[in-house]
Amino acid sequence: MAAPQRYPSPAQRRALTPLFASLVRYFRARARGIELIPTDRPVVYVGKHPRGWLYLETMVLGWFAFFARADRPAIRVLEKEGTSVHKIPLVGFIRRNVNAIPASEDGAVETLAAGESVLIFPGGPREMFGAPDRLRWGGHRGFARIAARARAPVVPFAIAGADRQHPWRLRLGRSNTLWLPPIPLPVRMDVHFGAPMDPPPAADREALTRFADQVAEATQRLLTTAVEQQRRG
């Protein structure tokens, strides 16, 4: 598999920088722990999948971790292809062409080897439709294998407020959901980055299992702390 084209291109940066900056203002976003993110190598970002469909909170994260500064690798989002969202004309085009790469371990490892970071939501749809601010990774440990194969550290993150963008949702049939309101509410978002966690050797399966569980625990603690701190103001 060929490595994806480098992101962002000059044209993408010109177009996306004002958009990302506007989203930071819209959500009154703040960030903590940016100084913990390595500047000399790509990383694997992992966090809870937001309860929403536009991924605006992911753009806010990208602003703080990359777009607003030039000292860290760009971020690619691992995303399943062919979903209903990809069929929406404008939204689907953006999701297919901005910074997503197909959700595969080999593709993620090649992206990291090319010098770009990857962002993974291990909980996927279970968290998208699950309880707010609670991880449901259910033994999904692909992110740990990716990090181990690429020898890249894992950086857990949490976005307090991301699960409050759409207070209601309406199921339409078996595979579609209408999020209400369709345009996310301007809730405050606080992005917290945790300390990088180095993976064990890829061949040590037992160590990889323990590592994945440790990352999940660290990510949940980070999210719980971020939400509590936001509630206290």
Domain ranges of the chain: 10-232
Q: Could you tell me which residue, 51 or 177, shows the higher pLDDT?
A: 51
Whether 2 has a pLDDT exceeding 90, the answer reads: no
What is the tens place of the pLDDT at every residue in 33-54? 999 999 999 999 999 999 988 8
Give the pair of three-digit tokens for residue 65: 């971790």
What is the tens place of the pLDDT at every residue in 9-21? 888 888 889 999 9
Reported confidence tier of residue 1, pLDDT bands at 50, 70, 90 = very low
State percent of the chain over pLDDT 70.
90
What is the model's pLDDT at position 173?
Answer: 79
What is the model's pLDDT at position 130?
Answer: 93
The DSSP code sequence of 173-223 is: TTTEEEEESSSPP----EEEEPPPB----TT-HHHHHHHHHHHHHHHHHHH
What is the tens place of the pLDDT at every residue in 131-176? 999 999 988 999 999 999 999 999 999 999 999 999 999 988 777 8
Q: Name 23's Cβ contacts closer than 8 Å, sequence gap at least 6.
A: 29, 56, 59, 60, 63
What is the model's pLDDT at position 123?
Answer: 95
Does the domain at 10-232 match CATH 3.30.70.1140? Answer given as no
Find the mean pLDDT for residues 105-128. Answer: 95
Reported confidence tier of residue 90, pLDDT bands at 50, 70, 90 = low
